Amino acid sequence: MPEENLANDDIAAEQPIPGSAKSDKLINGSSQKGDRPVISVSHLKKSFHGRPVLKDINFEVYAGETLGIVGPSGCGKSTILKLLCGLIEPDSGDIVIESKDIGLVFQSSALLNSLTVKENLELALRERKMSRKDSDQVISERLSLVGLSDYIDAYPSALSGGQQKRVSFARAIVTDPKIILYDEPTTGLDPVMSTVIEDYMIDLENRLKAACIVVTHQYSTWMRTADRMLLMHAGLVEWEGKPEDALKSDNPYMKQFSHATKEGPILAGSV
């Protein structure tokens, strides 16, 4: 397929993904979580240059469950992901993770433009002792899951933003991770492509039964993909519950955040 045609992504041609709505998860039972947490965080604290960023954070995530973490910029959401990945160390507290095999989906796709789609995925497999045949089969299967089988030899620069994001999904799941961490996966995408990406997130959770955490500001993303939510503010969890309960919550932090109003404690003293 000529490269100049790859970026002309016709969203209308996207095929529906089985189990792509949260309601479908509840109907078919695939949202049932495991017996024990895959991720357990207790009394987590972290400071940078003497400024507390996380203050006594506690949560658990089970297999087949997505935890949404929301809140204003600078409240510590992405710091939690860095701690879970081992990129930084906590000041105190405990992080217990059942599997070290973690899939990461970054805010930017973070693909290497000098490598083809296939070569980008091969990088994620290079520490696995796999034959070329097995590696090719795994890559082919993962690209098929995100609807990009025809783009295996394309370069990232020839893909649309939505296609690049889907390649980053394929790379994140190429090792069959038990944990998937999403950092602002729909930032910068138009509403239609955001819906496509959210559908893939739900579908991957259903297929892989992974424990997932999504950090996001986008209303549709946390409403459509999360089973439970944490709302953070100034390094603390101020509300926890189900997405469908957020809009009717009387908690002043969630009420302000979910209704996007200026009145409330989130902006107090900062404007």
The larger pLDDT score, comparing residue 62 to residue 187, is at: 62
* Mean pLDDT to the nearest integer, 180-206: 86
Q: 60 with 166, same domain?
A: no
In this structure, are 184 and 252 located in the same domain? yes
Report yes or no on 126 lying in a domain. yes
d(CA 119, CA 161): 18
Residues 212 and 122 in one domain: no
- Of 176, 202, 229, which residue sits at a domain end? 176
188 & 270 share domain: yes
Structural domain ending residue among the three candidates 154, 176, 198: 176
CATH assignment at residue 212: 3.40.50.300
**189 and 146 within one domain:** no
Among 123, 146, 176, the domain-final residue is: 176
Question: Would you report the helix, strand and coil content of the chain in percent, each value rounded to 5?
Answer: 35, 25, 40
Residues 147 and 239 in one domain: no
Whether 20 is in a domain gets the answer: no
Segment 15-33 shows an average pLDDT of 45
Q: Are residues 256 and 198 in the same domain?
A: yes
Q: What is the pTM of this model?
A: 0.81
Q: What domain count does the chain have?
A: 2
Whether 192 has a pLDDT exceeding 90, the answer reads no
Range of the domain at 116: 112-176
Are 170 and 188 in the same domain?
A: no
Higher pLDDT, 95 or 201: 95
**Lowest-pLDDT range of 8-12, 97-101, 147-151:** 8-12
pLDDT digits (tens, 9 = 90+) for 116-159: 999 999 988 887 778 889 999 999 998 998 889 999 999 999 99
Q: How does residue 212 score in pLDDT terms, banded at 50, 70 and 90?
A: very high
Q: Residue 11's pLDDT band (boundaries 50, 70, 90)?
A: very low
Q: What is the pLDDT of residue 104?
A: 87
pLDDT band at residue 22, thresholds of 50, 70 and 90? low
